[in-house]
Each structure stands twice: as structure tokens, then as C-alpha cells.
């Protein structure tokens, strides 16, 4: 059997050293009443070849991006992840290591996470980042927890144009946190700063998304100002791929910046694992959840890295911890770091510009009615197609094109609306194919 390391001879010797006569005897402390008295109802063990064959059969029953021309976005995106990401992440010294609690053995991961934290702070204009959260939804809950304890207030305000799954996760965490959650409706695809200001009275935090779930650019500096006026912490949920062309949240008055990192460095993978990022102004350092890597020196004066401010975390502070998070998304965050270093500042800017330009081109070629014609969009936009979106999707897919996400799943009165995402992977021919598939 595949992963067994002991021979029968080994077991004999070991049992003798222990002083018992059988493996069965090692379990003598387990009461009879809770023993499983039959075999597990699982199949026979498979060889590696058989495992691969089984998994290939299952994979063949999926239609990934690559087998159809896909304009699906809505939170995770088909961006190009360079080959070096896999080449580095496959290395066993990263892949099979665990949390760097013994820093002398883990300078590789620790330094990489320090670099990741730096990159996130650079992108978002913030002073401190953690070493990753679970995904772009849970970091919103984290931000609410920080805000509650920092302000002493128990209400959070969410823009309706914020990703619906993010809002749903915040609402799931809210009862345990003792938080009231209030939505502010979108007005023609963006959030009205005056309405936000009114709703933010007495709130701990306000969370808005830039670009928002509809792909529209929010009046982000005014939203942040509105939150600050009401004494609430402005929290921007941002797309890392946009931060070469769009302003950093730290530059327009936000307290915390969060987001889903997937678009930088991770494959789609049917939704995960990915990584969430969370970064904040310096004053919130001690309230940050999760691991943080800090720089220091060793006894010889050499520079090195350690997990720091660990007294925030569960293994020390226990019930008063800033979060219960332990295992995070390190490997995925490292993928993000590598991808962003590969892009560099010019590449990131060009990536953002190309996506934006391709999306505009797509709007033109489709000739369909934009839902929010007055709004500038980034790499996604919403169009009305004059019939139920789910039908249009089914029809388009028979022509090898997935035209986008049916917004009616999450928003009233949008059953005929498609959310179309255009990344740098979409060619002009593919965009023509989309136009053809939707016109039919």
C-alpha cells in the first residue's frame, strides 16, 4: 500500500520496545462502546495510476476556461498567471513547510511573507498588512471586528454594490460579533455619498468596493470622506489588478483596505483556495488579525524575520485574540507576491489599462444597452440583453462562449442583465465570438 513506511519486521521490533504484544493493544484505553467494529465503508485502495485515471475522468466532466471562451467574473477572474509561480510554489521547501514558529528554519517563508506584506501595503497605501486571510469575504468580517473594537460602536454599513457573497459572510459573522448590519442601496450602479453619510451615523465601519460588483467606479474619495465625517472607519474592498491604474485607498482617507487576491497569482480552481488581504493604517497594528512578520536581528547582528506581535493571536491571547485564525493562505499569498513582482509597476499599470480598454471595446462591439451608461467601468460591466440572462447563457454556451454572470441571482429587476468580465486573456476574435453568441 502506497504510503506505508513500516514493514512487519519493523512493527515487531517496535512493539517489543514499547512492551506490548500487538498494535491492537495500543488502543486499549479506548472504551469498547465507542470502537468501530467493522471496516470503514470505503473502496479498495487505488494505485497512483488508478487515482490519476479516476480524477481525470472527473475533471473531464467539467468545462474550464480554456474549453470555452469565458467572460465570467463576479469576484474571481481569468487572468494570466505566469509559469514561474508554479515553478516556485511546487518546491517542497515552501509547499510542505508549516507555520514559521521556528524562525531559524523558516527564513524563506518569513522573508517572502515580509515581502508580501510590503507589496500589499504598497498597492493599498497602508502601513501594515497581515500575512493573508482566508479570502475576499472573510477579510470583510475581520475589518468589522477591528472597527468594532477600535470605535466601540456596534453597527456596520455595507454598500449594496459590494459583492453579495462578501455581504452574506459579514451577515453570518455579525451575530457572534454583536454587530448590526445595514445596507445602503446603489443609485444607478454606484453609492451616493450623502446617503452613505446618513447611514454611517453611529457606525463602526463602512465597506464599499472599488471597482464595485457591477464593475463601476465608485466616487471612492467622497465615500471615504462621508464615512470619516460620521466617525465610521472607511473600508475599501479593492481589486489588486486595478491598483496600477486606480488610486490606493490609503491615499484617499481609508482606514482599512481589503480584497480578494486571486486575480494576482492564483488559478480559478472552482473557487479556492485563494487568499484575502487586509491592510490598515498604523494605529490599527495591534488589532490586526492573523500572522504578521516583522524584521529584526539575530545575536550576531544579521537581519532576519520572525512572526511578531503574536500576543494578538489565539495561541497566546486565546479568548481575547483579535481572531481565531491560525492556518491562513500563505502559499496562495506567495503566488500573489511572485505574480506582482513579475508584473512590476509598469506591468501592473499596463494590465489594468489593457483590461479596461478591452472591456470598453467589448461594450462597443456588443452594441447592447449598458445598465449604467453614465458610469465608468474597469474590467467588468453590466448589459441588458432583452431576454432572461440564464437562457442567453445556455444558448451562448452551445456556441462555445460563456457570456457572463446573471446578475438577477443577486439583484432585483436584473433577470435580463449579464455581468461581462474582460481580462487581458480575451482576444479581439474572442470578443467577436461573444458578440455573435449574444446576437443569435
Partner 1 sequence: MKLIFERSREGRRAATVPRPDGLARAEAPQELRRRRPPRLPEIPENEIVRHFTKLTTRNFGIDTGFYPLGSCTMKYNPRVNERVAALPGFRDLHPLQDEEGSQGALELMVELQEILAEVTGLDAVSLQPAAGSQGELTGLMLMRAYFADRGEGDRRRKIVVADTAHGTNPASVTMAGYELVKVDTDKRGNIDLDDLRAKVDDETAGLMLTNPSTLGLFDEHIEEIARIFHESGGLLYYDGANLNAVCGISRPGDMGFDIVHINLHKTFSQPHGGGGPGGGPIAVRRRLEPYLPVPAVVRDGRRYRLEFDRPKSIGKVRAFTGPFGVFVRSYAFILAWGRELKTMSEDAVLNANYLLARLRDAYELPYDRLCMHEFVLSARNLKREHGITALDVAKRLMDYDFHPPTIYFPLVVPEALMIEPTETETKETLDEFADAMTAIAREAAEDPDVIKSAPHNRPVKRLDEVKAAKRAVVRYRFEDHPDLAAEPTASAATEAPKGV
Partner 2 sequence: MAAEESYPDDIRYHREHDWARIEGDEAVLGITWYAQDALGELVHYEPPEQGATVSRGTPYGEVESVKAVSDVIAPISGEVLEVNQAVVDAPETVNEDPYGNGWLIRIRLSDPAEAEQLLDAAAYREVLAEQ
4 near partner 1, rule: CB under 8 A: yes
Residue among 151, 246, 399, 408 that touches partner 1 (CB under 8 A): 246
**Residue 231 or 359 having the CB closest to partner 1:** 359
Element (H, E) at 207: strand 205-210
Site residue total, partner 2 (CB under 8 A): 6
- Whether the ω angle into residue 211 lies within 30 degrees of 0, i.e. cis, is yes
99 near partner 2, rule: CB under 8 A: no
257 near partner 1, rule: CB under 8 A: no
- Least spacing, CB of residue 316 vs partner 2, in Å: 6
Of 380, 376, 405, nearest to 218 by C-alpha is 376
For 146-226, list the strands marked E by DSSP. 155-159, 180-184, 205-210
**Residue 157 or 166 having the CB closest to partner 1:** 166
Of 104, 173, 117, nearest to 142 by C-alpha is 173
Binders in 19-38 for partner 1, by CB under 8 A: 19-20, 23, 26-31, 33-36
Of 232, 257, 233, nearest to 247 by C-alpha is 257
Task: Choose among partner 2, partner 1, none what residue 294 binds, the Cβ cut-off being 5 to 8 Å by kind.
Answer: partner 1
Under a CB-based contact definition with an 8 Å cutoff, are residues 264 and 340 in contact?
A: yes
Residue among 310, 384, 399, 415 that touches partner 2 (CB under 8 A): 310
182 near partner 1, rule: CB under 8 A: no
DSSP string for residues in 364-386: HHH--EESSTTS-BSSEEEEE-S
Those residues with Cβ within 8 angstroms of residue 224's Cβ, 6 or more apart along the chain or in another chain: 234, 236, 249, 252, 253, 254
Binding characters for partner 1, 401-430, by CB under 8 A (x = yes):
-x--x------------------x--xx--
Residue among 208, 277, 284, 378 that touches partner 1 (CB under 8 A): 378
3-class DSSP assignment, residue 277? strand
3-class DSSP assignment, residue 306? strand
Binding window for partner 1 (CB under 8 A); candidates: 101-109, 186-194, 381-389, 410-418: 101-109
Those residues with Cβ within 8 angstroms of residue 163's Cβ, 6 or more apart along the chain or in another chain: 74, 75, 136, 137, 209, 213, 237
**Residue 254 or 288 having the CB closest to partner 2:** 288
191 near partner 1, rule: CB under 8 A: no
**What is the binding site for partner 2 (CB under 8 A)?**
286, 310-311, 316-317, 320
Amino acid at each position: 500500500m502506497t504510503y506505508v513506511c513500516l514493514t512487519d519486521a519493523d512493527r515487531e521490533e517496535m512493539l517489543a520496545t514499547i512492551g506490548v504484544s500487538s498494535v491492537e493493544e495500543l488502543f486499549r484505553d479506548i472504551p469498547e462502546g465507542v470502537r468501530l467494529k467493522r471496516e470503514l465503508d470505503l473502496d479498495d485502495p487505488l494505485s497512483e495510476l488508478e487515482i490519476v485515471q479516476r480524477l481525470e475522468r472527473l475533471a473531464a466532466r467539467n468545462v474550464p476556461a480554456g474549453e470555452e471562451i469565458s467572460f465570467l467574473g463576479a469576484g474571481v477572474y481569468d487572468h494570466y498567471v505566469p509559469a514561474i509561480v508554479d515553478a516556485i510554489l511546487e518546491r517542497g521547501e515552501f509547499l510542505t513547510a508549516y507555520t514559521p514558529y521556528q524562525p531559524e528554519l523558516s527564513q524563506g517563508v518569513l522573508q517572502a511573507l515580509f515581502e508580501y506584506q510590503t507589496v500589499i501595503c504598497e498597492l493599498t497605501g497602508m502601513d501594515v498588512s497581515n500575512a493573508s486571510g482566508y479570502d475576499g469575504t472573510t477579510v470583510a468580517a475581520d475589518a468589522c471586528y477591528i472597527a468594532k473594537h477600535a470605535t466601540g460602536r456596534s453597527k456596520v454599513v455595507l454598500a449594496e454594490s459590494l459583492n453579495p457573497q462578501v455581504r452574506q459572510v459579514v451577515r453570518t459573522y455579525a451575530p457572534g460579533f454583536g454587530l448590526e448590519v445595514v445596507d445602503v442601496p446603489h443609485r444607478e450602479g454606484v453609492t451616493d455619498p450623502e446617503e452613505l453619510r446618513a447611514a454611517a451615523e453611529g457606525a463602526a465601519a463602512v465597506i464599499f468596493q472599488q471597482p464595485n460588483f457591477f464593475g463601476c467606479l465608485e466616487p471612492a474619495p467622497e465615500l471615504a470622506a462621508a464615512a470619516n465625517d460620521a466617525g465610521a472607519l472607511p473600508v475599501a474592498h479593492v481589486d489588486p489588478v486595478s491598483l496600477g491604474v486606480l488610486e490606493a485607498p490609503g491615499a484617499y482617507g481609508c482606514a482599512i483596505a481589503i480584497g480578494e487576491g486571486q486575480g494576482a497569482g492564483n488559478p480559478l480552481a472552482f473557487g479556492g483556495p485563494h487568499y484575502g488581504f487586509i491592510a490598515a493604517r498604523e494605529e490599527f497594528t495591534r488589532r490586526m488579525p492573523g500572522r504578521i512578520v516583522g524584521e529584526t536581528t539575530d545575536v550576531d547582528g544579521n537581519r532576519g524575520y520572525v512572526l511578531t506581535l503574536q500576543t494578538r493571536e489565539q495561541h497566546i491571547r486565546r479568548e481575547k485574540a483579535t481572531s481565531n485564525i491560525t492556518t491562513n493562505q500563505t502559499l496562495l499569498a506567495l503566488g500573489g507576491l511572485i505574480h506582482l513582482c513579475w508584473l512590476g509597476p509598469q506591468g501592473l499599470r499596463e494590465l489594468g489599462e489593457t483590461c479596461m480598454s478591452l472591456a470598453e471595446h467589448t461594450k462597443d462591439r456588443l452594441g447592447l444597452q449598458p445598465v449604467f451608461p453614465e458610469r465608468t467601468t474597469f474590467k467588468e460591466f453590466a448589459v441588458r440583453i432583452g431576454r432572461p440572462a440564464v437562457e442567453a447563457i445556455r444558448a451562448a454556451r452551445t456556441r462555445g462562449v460563456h457570456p457572463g454572470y446573471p446578475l438577477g441571482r443577486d439583484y432585483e429587476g436584473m433577470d435580463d442583465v449579464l455581468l461581462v468580465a474582460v481580462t487581458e486573456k480575451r482576444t479581439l476574435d474572442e470578443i467577436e465570438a461573444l458578440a455573435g453568441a449574444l446576437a443569435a
